[in-house]
Amino acid sequence: MVYDNIVLIGFMGSGKTAVGKILARYLHKNFVDVDSVIEKEQGASISEIFADKGEEHFRALEQKCINELAQNKGQVIATGGGLPIYNSLPEKSLIVYIDADFDVILNRLPAKEHAKRPLLQNESRARTLFEQRTDTYKELATLRVDANQSIQTFIHVIVDFILDKRVL
């Protein structure tokens, strides 16, 4: 199967944006981060959107954004951690699950990043969310990569899959 786009899924802080930027450069594709698009369009941070308009409003913005992005081809798209849980993913996309352990994610994120992520502000609640979402990420993924290692290491797994399967 040939895919229109590469969509990166995984828990918040798993490295979707960092991986997406590198992968897009390597594959000569456009990189798009759903959260960044929403923040730009709304003129507010994700935290502000959650606080002012609620999670339900934010999830509707996510679905609208991913639907619009899916109209184009040849992109690497980083989703927010909850997008695949609450919204549908674009058909004809290579879905790559960036699979990092919860403690690895916490160690990678500086404390100031925790404040920017509304659902990460309570570590116990975030751990519960992580556990609840993991199976859905696995079910949706075309490819699952172990993100507990360096980004450069698992980027090669993704690229090798794409080149070997000739899916783009």
φ, ψ of residue 143 in degrees (nearest 5): -140, 135
Asked if 126 and 39 touch (Cβ cutoff 8 Å), the reply is: no
pLDDT of amino acid 164? 85
Note the CATH number of domain 5-165.
3.40.50.300
CB atoms within 10 A of CB 101: 14
Query: Which of 70, 78, 82 shows the shortest CA–CA distance to 18?
Result: 78
Per domain, the residue ranges of the chain are: 5-165
Mark out the alpha helices in 70-120 (DSSP H runs). 83-86, 102-108, 111-116
Instruction: For residue range 82-111, list pLDDT tens digits in order.
Output: 999 998 999 999 999 999 999 998 888 766
Pairwise CA distance, residues 41 & 33, whole Å: 12
Q: Look up residue 18 and give its two tokens.
A: 């960092």
Pairwise CA distance, residues 124 & 58, whole Å: 22
Q: What is the CA radius of gyration of the chain?
A: 15
pLDDT of amino acid 114? 53
Pairwise CA distance, residues 59 & 95, whole Å: 19
Which parts of the chain have pLDDT scores under 50?
none
